Amino acid sequence: MQNLIIIKIGGQAIQQLRPSFFQQLVSWRKAGKQLLIVHGGGPMITKLTQKLQLPVHKIHGLRVTDSETLALTKLVLLGDAQPALLTQLAQHGLPVVGLNAADNQLLTGTYLNRAQLGAVGQVTKVNVAELQRQLATHIGVLAPLALTTTGQWLNVNADMAATVLAQQLQAEKLVLLTDVPGIMQHGAVMTTLSPHQAQALTQQAVITAGMRPKVQAAIQAIQAGVQQAIITDAIDQPGTAIIQEAVI
């Protein structure tokens, strides 16, 4: 799907989308692009777990997910974050459809490290044919949850879910929206970033836990053949483009 753009939006960003976000979506649609939005809900999940006095524990940016946390994650993603985003898109006249793993097994996954992380998973299979059918007429809004082959729900990092989708759907562009304009160094946005540079900046603590999954996801996407992978705070801004290492 060389005309497909995949956009990952964090839960916090859903409440702070600018008019330019919707204008860019309209522009892409007019240009014949198909669009898939993968949405998170991390801040809302954390707020609810704290309200219920449940522990919040993360390992390398991944939320440790016991049965109670999984139930709250599904509640927030499918009952709060996704409807909020669908409502905003529809108000701007955009044709949208809400999607999740239970829709014809859209996302199949396996446990990432069950002993350490609980019900945290990775996507192993995408129902490409069903997504192609949905995206032919609508902007898809997909929650980052997967189902195992035996029907167990898994909490998937939204950046990594978006990356696997970009790979399997052969998207032309992956946009990872965050709360900063891109990878910052010395107070300025790095326009490009290679895997080697990313490793060095991680060791220097310039790229920290919150940004690390996004950088890793973007690198993985580029190495798998996605033409563009961008980290930015606005889809109409260049941000930081992840690039392949130069061949010497």
Q: Catalytic residue positions?
A: 8, 11, 42, 159, 214
Calculate the CA 27 to chain-centre distance. 21
What's the Cα-to-Cα distance from 244 to each of 8, 86, 181, 200, 227, rounded to whole Å?
21, 34, 21, 15, 10
Given a contact cutoff of 8 angstroms between Cβ atoms, the answer to whether 118 and 154 are in contact is no
Q: Cα–Cα distance between 89 and 86 in angstroms, integer?
A: 5
| Residues in binding site for substrate | 41-42, 63, 155
Residue keyed to tokens 């440790």: 64
Cα distance between residue 88 and residue 17, in whole Å: 9
Tokens of 144: 């980052």
